[in-house]
Amino acid sequence: MRLAPVEFLPPVASRRRAYLLAAAALAGGIGPRALAQGDAANALDGPNMPYAAFDRAPFERIEVAGSTLRVVFGEGTFELPRARILTYVRQSARSVGAYFGRFPADDTRLLILGTDSPGRSVRSGTAFGYRGAAIKLVLARSVTAGDLDRDWILVHEMTHLALPSVPRRHHWIEEGIATYVEPLARAQSGVLDAAPIWADMLKGMPLGLPQAGDRGLDNTPTWGRTYWGGALFCLLADVTLRERSANAKGLQHALRAILAHGNMETDSALEPLLRIGDAAVGVPVLSELYREMGANPYPVDLDALWRRLGVRPDGQTVQFDDAAPLAAVRRALTAPFAG
């Protein structure tokens, strides 16, 4: 099916993240600090990303599929060698690059800060795009190699870089894509098994269902609807696309096409992006689903969906039914990209 051409908004100064959880990157009591000894430039440019100081600091360069990540460590040391942390960064970038066909930005700043305060080992992450692609990552100074191997936060934040910035009412699509794509990207690159992905979906997707009094995703900015409601949109889109294309095309194809037109460093209305994705797969599933879910509650029979995909809960994990009608679709979502 040939769809009408779309008009993509030109790059402008991105609004993304100016309104989002700015304090999250400072969790555990970390405050702004100089990036190099004696650096007086502690003034923060925008929501807690010190671009000016960053650009003067020494950095480690990581090349991934033709893209560059400039990694700056804040003051202090970690118990792990920096080389091990850089290995984790490189693997995270490779997972994201494999899913999207390339790393989402040509040049990305990554600021890594350490904290001694109590909390999880990979404390928080925040992505920025208004002065170039950038990520702030906070790690416990006692973080272990095992903690890094299990981490999902950095891949989540790197995934944010792949979508142009959209108006605030569509924040659910930004977080939904990152929530949905992150485990699939790690599975496709061989660092995560399929079973825990589906176990997490069985637990998480119900949190995205509309509750009493909810409106559509554009008008219900609760945590569950933003993260898991957005992820549920992605799952339904992925499954429907594969059903309507004999399992030849899915959301991954649509997201690659959207990235080809712009990343987080650009701004766009949501509807043109959905039409770009629809054009790439040949069916208007994204636009149709947005009309259903954006403005109105959209109940989903998740139990029926799991049965069709062949996913059954089994304690803390799941069992797969390879005779289920959509078992091949389920397998395709975590398999390496087949083109």
pLDDT at 9 over 50: no
This prediction's pTM: 0.87
158/162 Cα distance (integer angstroms): 8
> Stretch 72-91: mean pLDDT, rounded?
94
Query: Strand 60-64 and strand 107-115: pairing?
Result: unpaired
Retrieve residue 280's tokens. 């790439």
Minimal CA–CA distance to 67: which of 90, 47, 42?
A: 90
Task: Calculate the alpha carbon distances from 80 to 47, 109, 195, 196 in Å.
Answer: 29, 21, 30, 27
Average pLDDT over residues 334-339: 92
> What is the share, in percent, of the chain residues with pLDDT greater than 90?
78
> Can you give the pLDDT at residue 31?
30
Q: How much is the pLDDT for 56?
A: 84
Residue range 254-310, pLDDT digits in tens? 999 999 999 999 999 999 999 999 999 999 999 999 999 999 999 999 999 999 999
Residue recorded with tokens 């108006």: 167
pLDDT digits 0-9 by tens, 16-33: 332 232 223 222 222 323
Q: How confident is the model at residue 48 (pLDDT cuts 50, 70, 90)?
A: low
Q: What is the average pLDDT value for the chain, to the nearest integer?
A: 86
Residue range 223-233, pLDDT digits in tens: 999 999 999 99
Burial grade of 130 (CB within 10 A; 0-12, 13-18, 19 or more)? buried
